[in-house]
Amino acid sequence: MSASQTNRITGKGLIDRRKPLRFTFDGKSYDGFQGDTLASALLANGVVLTGRSFKYHRARGILSAGSEEPNAIVELRAGARREPNTRATMIELFPGLEAHSQNRWPSLKYDVLSINSLLSPVFVAGFYYKTFMWPSAMWEKLYEPMIRRAAGLGRASDEADPDTYDKSNAFCDVLVVGGGAAGLMAALTAGRAGARVIVCDEHFDLGGRLLSETQLVDGKPAHDWVRAAVAELRAMPEVQILTRTSVFGAYDTGTFAAVERVADHLPKPGVHQPRQRLWRIIAKQCVLAAGATERPIVFGNNDLPGVMLASAVRTYINRFGVMPGKTAVIFANNDEAATTARDLATVGVRVAAIVDSRPQPSAAVRDAAKTTGARLVSGVVADAKGRIAVKGARIVPAAGEAFDVSCDLIAVSGGYNPNVQLTTHQNGRPQWNETLAAFLPGSSPKGMTVVGSAKGTFSLPDCLAEGAQAGAAAATAAGFSAHVPQVPKAEAESYGVVPMWRVKEAKHKAFVDFQNDVAASDIDLAEREGYRSVEHVKRYTTLGMATDQGKTANVNGLAILAALTGKSIPETGITSARPPYSPVSIGALAGHHRGKEFKATRLPPSYYWAKEQGAVMVEAGLWMRPQYFPRAGETDWLETVTREVKTTRSAAGICDVSTLGKIEIQGADAGTFLDRVYINMFSTLGVGKARYGMMLREDGIVLDDGTTARFAQDRFFMTTTTVNAVKVMQHLEFCHQWHWPELDVQMASATDQWAQYSVAGPRSRELLAKLVDAPFDISNEGFPYMAVAEITVCNGIRARIYRLSFSGELAYEIGVPARYGDSLIRALMAAGQEFGALCYGTEALGVMRIEKGHVGGPEINGTTTAADLGLGKMASTKKDFIGRVLAGREGLKDPSRPALVGFRPVDRSARLRSGSHLLPKDAGNFASNDQGYLTSVAYSPMNGHWVGLGLLSNAASRMGEIVRAYDPVRNGDTLVEVVSPVFFDPEGERLRV
Amino acid sequence: MRISCPYCGERSLDEYLYIGDATVTRPDPAGANAQADFYKYAYERTNPAGAHKELWYHSAGCHAWLVVERDTRTHEISSVETAKDVALKRNVAKGGA
Amino acid sequence: MSSLTLTPTNALASALNSSRSSVAIAVLDGLSIAHVAARKGQSAALAARVKELFGVTLSQTPRIATGSNVSFVWAGPDQWLAMARADTNPDFERDLRGKLEGLASVADQTDARALATVRGPNARHVLAKGVPIDLHPKAFPAGSAAITHASHIGVLMWLSEADDTFTLACPRSYASSFWNWLTESAVEFSPAVGE
Ligand SMILES: [Zn+2]
């Protein structure tokens, strides 16, 4: 044993003494053992002061030995792995562990800001609301930085997290939450029946309280029984044990969320090992055996280092072989006082006094006092004494004078709160039980059974029996034949709790919520100020709102409020728990999905070629598309895009349009079906032809547009816009399955099947002629505007060719199976070299469609009708179609509705901005004068000035009018002329040559 | 929440899209009060606290539209049918195609 | 006659060049794939024709059925993906369309999907990291198929009847993201890989 571990008890505990570990706390080196937590190792070394509190910078030590810890909150590790607000009681010791206390400056012992403690009248309940109300501008500059510095919340690392996180889905018949006595019995029973069982426990070993108590199970030390049970479980192929795993959320239909700390107990994760794993567990049945959490009692200075929960005292002694003090006072309202006194005395701690707040100390406590030689007092501990650690206790007996007892440890038990949180995540309401003075699970979610101390069953034999029964019942419910086994023998214990929430004789600040520094006096104040609802008091005082979720605070706070308002506890209410039960790192929630894998990315067929060309890429939905292809010497994007447009319009330009949604629509009724979803006719479309179509939502607003081709009587090929591809497919499936299931229509998405390129410009025909195989006739006569054909290119590669144009030029779209997409762009560029062809990106595509007045995403924006877009005449009057009836509503036909027109700046050198509001020329810039806005703008290389499309009220009658394009965000105010939206080749002569 | 697709089996909520009320059907566009009927159909919705029939789309699965009867208070699902089957029955009831 | 020639590129070609790969994971290439959807009222006739032509019973539930030369994996109600070796079936879609005339609509999907296989003792653990369905042999026995997602990317997947190999088919444009997820998920179980 290391000499430094002065509080280590020889021969005691489940730690591995053959594996000493060195660690540092606040820069000082200490030794501990494998199997220690940081908390137990600090206690072994006599370190009781572990941090300063959040608001008042009061000295704090270790209160608990579990996940409920509100005090011993430290910064773990250094550099990129530095993590604030970790609980020392949950950190497993590893070699080289480095931890720092929080909320102290310059040092833990001499914290300058503990002056806050003297200023505590300022920091009372509602201080955020009262002190920092006004002026609001001061928040950012002064209040928040000040609060953050004074009330430190730990420091997160500034560096990127170097570790990886993982997610996994799991399915089981029976999920057992908690691996204590009841949970182990449930898992064994269900596992033996052959059920798929998952056992989760937040600690690194299964066993729960059995590892911390001296009870015998089947005549042997409890931890021996645990070892055998775990070995049996590990041997079952259908049982999965997840230690270091907190089940933090219970959702409906048997869905649970859990986080496994895979490598948090290691200096750093192993090669390829995730640090944490987020589990989504789908369980047919759940046995909740989450145990119970001991309550502190609210007395003066009850936050001093050296005040510790009685169950934690026994854990440190029995599990970790650590003496948490030399001289102890026990303060309890139940029989845990007796067990604690015995365990303390066994390892040589002097029990100076047992203070039992019950009217009559029980026989068990009287007996324990006798055997340990402790002074038995019927009364209360009113105050802990000491400045940065417990030096004594001021005891007020039920009868007689108050007196002081010297001690360095006060072991407290205010009774137990069953860990019912997971039963409340779906609106379950816990029920108050007077006998146990605790909330027990009310209704639990479907398929969940609560057992053991989580249910208020505090006696070991009962816990074992309940676990066995629940395990058998759960396995049976999941379809297995299970039977309840003989449970191991254990001795029953007494409890006999009598509520003691708050010691009224306290002279000093008495804390309810340690982590958020909420004292009983704060609840008094809130009550005086008129707060009665527990939900309001919680928010006003911040009670229970820290990262510990008030595990040690909520019920005490509620009981205190109930006493103040003269109501019963159940009348006062409950504070319902929501996920997460314990803190979850953002990394675990993100898993694989961070950095460039934040979301899935779709790559078009020409992606790698475009990257080779140095194209600038842009995200379009999930797609990565080339935006433009800059060349050496070009100074900005506008120069590049202008060149791309001019070259396309004078020679040829190629653009990857594979991202457009593509749907094969087949069947005898395919034409009829298209007639019903498009506003215009498709049943009359000839085979070998394509037609532009527009579809509406049922409310008459435009849903999408695109071109649909007919390759056979019963076979159409629809294209949608890139962004709406999925939505249109969903809409078509809806129309078919729900409206017209009688139609013979089949659909298949072909978006990813075809690599499709637009080849536009006066030389496009000559270019493509070099690729198409004989005997296809690509001449204007042989393949006129809006013709389509299934052909072969480049000596036998099947292809589809469409004579379509978005740019307004003579243009084609050529599609090949996607595996030839990369090769085709290279072939097209090679073929186009002699014509000076280039490849253009989404910017030039946009410029050319604006020059031609074609509508795009900014116009088909969920507010416009076909008529608004100048396409009302497309709608057939010979048939019904989705959206027809409601598009005919008076309001949608109102001529004052903003409709599509073009705009050009009066001062031709002026730049237009999309989003600019359109106001009458001489009108003031008030919202009431707003008549529309510019939807799309571009610098038009063909016009030599900026042009815009926009939606304007009464547009039809306003050609030639000058209006204001007002852009307050970018200080723009430009006079523009209302013109036709077609800025280039208005007669469409270039298309049909 | 988990919904049992009649084709694919039980799947989590994130595989589905919700569109809403399955108790309304597209009115007769040639009806005398077509505009009023369509207005009701498009906009007027009851919002029951309790059992409700809803249209869900198995978007990440088989692309079937489903009629799901769900208790809006508890998410408890009492029945799932394919929208196509419900629609065909409806057509038969109307004496339609 | 064009002087230009086109050569195919596998959807996962660039991913294969990356330093990460796994013995348990492989790209599956060389299949002709077609979507087959029964025409209205023709399900039974289609099943009979497929049985006659390929010796396969079309599954009405999510499963794969393999005949002498063609496999049919369920791809939705009354829909299947038919798969055959590309080298011996270069015109698979057109052949099928002809053979199933009047009974089914056929659409080429050969290039629409990227296929990867996953096998080995940890295959289920790897897949569980992104696939939200139960792949336990009791829940997903040999020959099972499912349409679901893997790491938010839509997949059609199946477990072969012959050996314990999972095949996942994702849309071709997602191949790179899909492969990154799959290899990253596998690396924990393949410590020799990835450096
Ligand atoms: Zn489905």
Whether residue B61 and residue C132 make contact (CB cut-off 8 A), yes or no, is no
Q: How far is A945 from A938, CA to CA, in rounded Å?
A: 9
- pLDDT for the residue numbered A2: 45
Report if residue A490 sits inside a domain.
no
Residues C135 and C89 in one domain: no
- pLDDT for the residue numbered A261: 97
Whether residue C148 and residue B7 make contact (CB cut-off 8 A), yes or no, is no
Residues C102 and C149 in one domain: no
User: Nearest C-alpha of chain C: how many angstroms from B7?
Assistant: 7
Residue (of C36, C13, C168, C34) closest to C112 by Cα position: C34
> Looking at the partner chain, which of A253, A255, A742 has a beta carbon nearest the beta carbon of B97?
A742
Report if residue C9 sits inside a domain.
no
Q: How far is A370 from C114, CA to CA, in rounded Å?
A: 78
Q: Domain containing C178 — which CATH number?
A: 3.30.1360.120
A774: nearest CA in chain C? C1
Residue A148 has pLDDT above 80, yes or no: no
Residues of C in contact with B61 (CB under 8 A): 146-148
Give the total number of structural domains in chain C.
2
Residues A514 and A564 in one domain: yes
Instruction: Please tell me whether the peptide bond between A106 and the residue prior to it is cis, using omega within 30 degrees of 0.
Output: yes
Whether residue B62 and residue C149 make contact (CB cut-off 8 A), yes or no, is no
Residues of B in contact with A730 (CB under 8 A): 17, 57, 59
Whether residue C132 and residue B14 make contact (CB cut-off 8 A), yes or no, is yes
Please give the residue range of the domain that contains residue B13: 2-93
- pLDDT for the residue numbered C162: 87
User: Nearest C-alpha of chain B: how many angstroms from C108?
Assistant: 18
- Please report which confidence band the pLDDT of residue C4 belongs to, taking 50, 70 and 90 as the band edges: confident
Q: C-alpha distances in angstroms, C180 versus A162, C115, C194?
A: 18, 14, 12
Q: What type of residue is A622?
A: L
Chains that contact B by 3+ CB pairs under 8 Å? A, C
Residue A139 has pLDDT above 60, yes or no: no
Residues A42 and A186 in one domain: no
Whether residue A737 and residue B75 make contact (CB cut-off 8 A), yes or no, is no
Count chain B–chain C contacts defined by CB atoms under 8 A: 34
- pLDDT for the residue numbered C1: 60
Spatial contact of A313 and A332, defined as CB atoms under 8 Å apart? no
> Looking at the partner chain, which of C76, C132, C149 has a beta carbon nearest the beta carbon of B62?
C76
* Residue A966 buriedness (CB in 10 A; 0-12 / 13-18 / 19+): buried
Residues A687 and A746 in one domain: yes
Q: Within 13 Å, how many C-alpha atoms sit on residue A822's CB side?
A: 18
- At A884, list the tokens: 């027809």
> Looking at the partner chain, which of B7, B11, B84 has a beta carbon nearest the beta carbon of C148?
B11
**Mutual orientation of helices A460-477 and A181-192 as an angle, nearest 10°?**
30
A269: nearest CA in chain C? C188
- At A726, list the tokens: 């999925």
Spatial contact of A219 and A184, defined as CB atoms under 8 Å apart? no
Q: Domain containing A613 — which CATH number?
A: 3.30.1360.120
pLDDT in tens, A313-368: 999 999 999 999 999 999 999 999 999 999 999 999 999 999 999 999 999 999 99
Strands A375-385 and A392-397: antiparallel
CB count within 10 Å of CB A194 equals: 17
**Mutual orientation of helices A520-528 and A534-541 as an angle, nearest 10°?**
120
pLDDT in tens, B44-72: 998 999 999 999 999 999 999 999 999 99
Residues C39 and C102 in one domain: yes
Residue (of A510, A589, A504) closest to A553 by Cα position: A510
User: E strands along A189-325, which residues?
Assistant: 197-200, 216-217, 220-221, 239-242, 245-251, 255-260, 276-288, 292-294, 307-309
Q: How far is A685 from A39, CA to CA, in rounded Å?
A: 79
Residues of C in contact with A599 (CB under 8 A): 152
Residues C120 and C189 in one domain: yes
Residues of B in contact with C138 (CB under 8 A): none
- A746 at interface of B, judged by CB pairs closer than 8 A: no
Please give the residue range of the domain that contains residue C88: 31-108
Residues A18 and A109 in one domain: yes
Last residue of some domain: C63, C80, C108?
C108
- pLDDT for the residue numbered C67: 87
Whether residue C76 and residue B64 make contact (CB cut-off 8 A), yes or no, is yes
Q: How far is A514 from A506, CA to CA, in rounded Å?
A: 17
- B82 at interface of A, judged by CB pairs closer than 8 A: yes
User: Nearest C-alpha of chain B: how many angstroms from A672?
Assistant: 14
Whether residue A734 and residue B75 make contact (CB cut-off 8 A), yes or no, is no
Q: How far is A590 from A277, CA to CA, in rounded Å?
A: 10
Report if residue A807 sits inside a domain.
yes
Residues C126 and C169 in one domain: yes
Whether residue A831 and residue C191 make contact (CB cut-off 8 A), yes or no, is no
- pLDDT for the residue numbered C173: 97
If contacts are CB pairs under 8 Å, which of residues 49-78 in chain C contact chain A?
none
Residue A147 has pLDDT above 90, yes or no: no
Q: How far is A834 from A260, CA to CA, in rounded Å?
A: 62
The rounded mean pLDDT for chain A is 94
Residue B21 C-alpha to ligand 1 middle, in angstroms? 19
Residues A693 and A563 in one domain: no
Q: How far is A94 from A266, CA to CA, in rounded Å?
A: 6
- pLDDT for the residue numbered A722: 95
- pLDDT for the residue numbered A130: 59
Q: Domain containing B6 — which CATH number?
A: 3.30.2270.10
> Looking at the partner chain, which of B42, B82, B87 has a beta carbon nearest the beta carbon of A699?
B42
Report if residue C12 sits inside a domain.
no
Tally of residues, chain C: 195
Residue A792 has pLDDT above 70, yes or no: yes
Residues C67 and C123 in one domain: no
Residues A233 and A316 in one domain: no
Q: How far is A713 from A705, CA to CA, in rounded Å?
A: 22
Residue A640 has pLDDT above 60, yes or no: yes
Q: C-alpha distances in angstroms, A517 versus A120, A146, A149, A696?
A: 10, 17, 16, 59
- What is the b/e burial string over A929-946, where b = at least 16 CB atoms within 10 angstroms of the residue's CB? ebbbbbbbbbbbbbeebb
Spatial contact of A698 and B38, defined as CB atoms under 8 Å apart? yes
CB count within 10 Å of CB C40 equals: 15
Residue A9 has pLDDT above 90, yes or no: yes
pLDDT in tens, C45-71: 999 999 999 999 999 999 999 987 899
Phi and psi based region of residue A667 (left: phi greater than 0; alpha: psi -120 to 50; beta: remaining): left
- B14 at interface of C, judged by CB pairs closer than 8 A: yes
Interface mutation vs chain C, best among A253, A666, A792, most C CBs within 10 Å? A666
Q: C-alpha distances in angstroms, A789 versus A760, C6, C11, C95, C135?
A: 17, 19, 26, 19, 45
Strands A97-101 and A16-25: parallel
- C185 at interface of A, judged by CB pairs closer than 8 A: yes
- pLDDT for the residue numbered C24: 66
Whether residue C6 and residue A816 make contact (CB cut-off 8 A), yes or no, is yes
Spatial contact of A869 and A860, defined as CB atoms under 8 Å apart? yes
Q: How far is B57 from A730, CA to CA, in rounded Å?
A: 8
Residue (of A101, A47, A44, A99) closest to A77 by Cα position: A99
- pLDDT for the residue numbered C21: 40
Residues C164 and C178 in one domain: yes
Which of the residue ranges A68-77, A99-108, A825-834 has the most confident prediction, judged by mean pLDDT?
Answer: A825-834
Residue C8 has pLDDT above 90, yes or no: no
User: Nearest C-alpha of chain B: how many angstroms from A624?
Assistant: 22
The set of residues, in sequence order, having a beta carbon less than 8 Å from that of C124 and lying 6+ positions away, is C135, C136
Q: Domain containing C36 — which CATH number?
A: 3.30.70.1520
- At B6, list the tokens: 């009649």
Residues A906 and A980 in one domain: yes
- Please report which confidence band the pLDDT of residue A158 belongs to, taking 50, 70 and 90 as the band edges: confident
Residues A693 and A648 in one domain: no
B87: nearest CA in chain A? A738
Handedness of CA A129, A130, A133, A138 (dihedral sign): negative
Residues of B in contact with A749 (CB under 8 A): none
Report if residue C7 sits inside a domain.
no
pLDDT in tens, A469-517: 999 999 999 999 999 999 999 999 999 999 999 999 999 999 999 999 9
Last residue of some domain: C51, C86, C108?
C108
Report if residue C6 sits inside a domain.
no
Last residue of some domain: C108, C128, C153?
C108
Biggest CA–CA distance in chain C, Å, is 57
- Please report which confidence band the pLDDT of residue C20 belongs to, taking 50, 70 and 90 as the band edges: very low
Residues of C in contact with B11 (CB under 8 A): 132-133, 148
Residue A718 pairs in a beta bridge with: A663, A708
What SS3 class is residue A554? Answer: helix
Whether residue C108 and residue A599 make contact (CB cut-off 8 A), yes or no, is no
Strands A276-288 and A165-177: parallel
C154: nearest CA in chain A? A600
pLDDT in tens, A814-872: 999 999 999 999 999 999 999 999 999 999 999 999 999 999 999 999 999 999 999 99
- C86 at interface of A, judged by CB pairs closer than 8 A: no
Backbone angles phi, psi at A515, to 5 degrees: -70, -35
Strands A165-177 and A448-450: unpaired
- pLDDT for the residue numbered A569: 94
Spatial contact of A338 and A367, defined as CB atoms under 8 Å apart? yes
Residue B53 pairs in a beta bridge with: B69
Residues of C in contact with A601 (CB under 8 A): 174, 176-177
pLDDT greater at residue A78 or residue A465: A465
Chains that contact A by 3+ CB pairs under 8 Å? B, C
> Looking at the partner chain, which of C9, C112, C195 has a beta carbon nearest the beta carbon of A822?
C9
- Please report which confidence band the pLDDT of residue A533 belongs to, taking 50, 70 and 90 as the band edges: confident
Residues A664 and A654 in one domain: no
Percent of chain A with pLDDT over 70: 95
Whether residue A733 and residue B63 make contact (CB cut-off 8 A), yes or no, is yes
Residue (of A317, A339, A320) closest to A330 by Cα position: A339
What is the DSSP annotation of A198-226?
Answer: EEE-SSSSTTGGGGT---EETTEEHHHHH
How confident is the model over C2-17, as a mean pLDDT?
A: 72
- pLDDT for the residue numbered A443: 86
Q: How far is A501 from A437, CA to CA, in rounded Å?
A: 10
* Residue A973 buriedness (CB in 10 A; 0-12 / 13-18 / 19+): middle
User: Nearest C-alpha of chain A: how many angstroms from C39?
Assistant: 6
Residue B62 C-alpha to ligand 1 middle, in angstroms? 4
pLDDT in tens, A881-912: 999 999 999 999 999 999 999 999 999 999 99
- What is the value of ipTM here, to two decimals? 0.98
Residue A165 pairs in a beta bridge with: A276
User: E strands along A629-783, which residues?
Assistant: 653-656, 661-666, 689-696, 702-712, 715-720, 746-749, 754-760
Q: At which residue do the structure tokens 């919904």 appear?
A: B3
Q: How far is A503 from A512, CA to CA, in rounded Å?
A: 12
Residue (of B46, B47, B42, B13) closest to B29 by Cα position: B42
Interface mutation vs chain B, best among A255, A664, A885, A886, most B CBs within 10 Å? A885
In this structure, what is the dihedral angle of CA atoms A528, A530, A533, A539, given to the nearest 10 degrees?
-80
> Looking at the partner chain, which of B7, B15, B63 has a beta carbon nearest the beta carbon of C149?
B15
Residues A78 and A112 in one domain: yes
Give the total number of structural domains in chain B.
1
Q: By mean pLDDT, which of A110-119, A141-150, A819-828, C12-21 is the weakest?
A: C12-21
> Looking at the partner chain, which of A253, A726, A738 has a beta carbon nearest the beta carbon of B2?
A253
Report if residue C84 sits inside a domain.
yes
- Please report which confidence band the pLDDT of residue A54 belongs to, taking 50, 70 and 90 as the band edges: confident
Whether residue C134 and residue A819 make contact (CB cut-off 8 A), yes or no, is no
Give the total number of structural domains in chain A.
7
- pLDDT for the residue numbered A129: 58
Handedness of CA A840, A845, A847, A851 (dihedral sign): positive
Residue C63 C-alpha to ligand 1 middle, in angstroms? 13
- pLDDT for the residue numbered A120: 64
pLDDT in tens, B25-35: 999 999 999 99
CB count within 10 Å of CB A589 equals: 15
Residues A669 and A769 in one domain: no
User: Nearest C-alpha of chain A: how many angstroms from C114?
Assistant: 10
Q: How far is A680 from A882, CA to CA, in rounded Å?
A: 11
Handedness of CA B78, B84, B87, B93 (dihedral sign): negative
Whether residue A737 and residue B87 make contact (CB cut-off 8 A), yes or no, is yes
- A252 at interface of B, judged by CB pairs closer than 8 A: yes
Please give the residue range of the domain that contains residue A882: 660-750+864-888
State pTM to two decimals. 0.93
Phi and psi based region of residue B10 (left: phi greater than 0; alpha: psi -120 to 50; beta: remaining): beta
Q: By mean pLDDT, which of A56-60, A622-626, B65-69, C93-97 is the weakest?
A: A56-60
How confident is the model over A977-992, as a mean pLDDT?
A: 95
Handedness of CA A853, A858, A863, A866 (dihedral sign): positive
In this structure, what is the dihedral angle of CA atoms A417, A420, A424, A429, given to the nearest 10 degrees?
-60
Whether residue C39 and residue A744 make contact (CB cut-off 8 A), yes or no, is yes
Report if residue A173 sits inside a domain.
yes
Residue A306 C-alpha to ligand 1 middle, in angstroms? 59
How confident is the model over A520-524, as a mean pLDDT?
A: 95
Q: At which residue do the structure tokens 């006129």 appear?
A: A784
- A744 at interface of B, judged by CB pairs closer than 8 A: no
Residues A652 and A787 in one domain: yes
What SS3 class is residue A930? Answer: coil
